[in-house]
Amino acid sequence: MKRSYTSRTATRVKDGRVQPKNRHRPTGHEGYVIDRQSPGRDHRHVVSKSDLQTFIDLIPEWTRYSERLERIVLAPRDESADGYHAFYHEEETGAIYLNAWPEDLWVTLVPIYFEAHKEVLEKLDVTTTPTEDGVICHFTEAQARAFTLLHIFMHELGHHFDRIHQKHRSSTKGEDFAEQFANRQFHQLFVRYTEAFGHPGR
């Protein structure tokens, strides 16, 4: 679902370079903007704008994947999602939202979500505790940052790339594509990530 937002005032970035303003083309065609919104009471962002740009610089083919990406937003907490992709039909551009985390970083995952992400969580050395309601994941700040960048962000980037280039009408096919994209990128980027940010489990 598309969420409203105010007109941007930040300078856009393309290929790591500040771009001059051009009011005659949709902004997503000129580069992306990184915005930060308040995380909300008792919540916090686990990545910064600087973290995002450092991570983006690690991604092979970023220019191809991010074509027509309008903005990346560090958004308030949303209990129904850890991130999402919005597509703006009139401009044919997209945005990626990364939602804030609870202050203590402990998250209860339903069994089906936990099983789908078990390999990633184990790679990040996240401590888990099974309960009747699901699995409590005891993230550290470093693990939450890694999960946000290596999986959540890459999943939403997969949605963006798919929407711009493949235009899947089926939400199921789109979700499958985004998850497969994120998993492939996780394995390709993990070593680069640890070189830039350190190992999240140490």
Domain boundaries, given as residue ranges, for the chain: 13-197
The confidence score (pLDDT) of residue 173 equals: 75
pTM of the model: 0.84
The confidence score (pLDDT) of residue 171 equals: 57
pLDDT in tens, the chain (202 residues): 222 333 333 434 444 444 444 443 444 456 799 999 999 999 999 999 999 999 999 999 999 999 999 999 999 998 888 999 999 988 889 999 999 999 999 999 999 999 999 999 999 999 999 999 899 999 999 999 999 999 999 999 999 999 988 755 555 678 999 999 999 999 999 999 999 999 999 8
Q: Can you give the C-alpha Rg of the chain in angstroms? A: 17
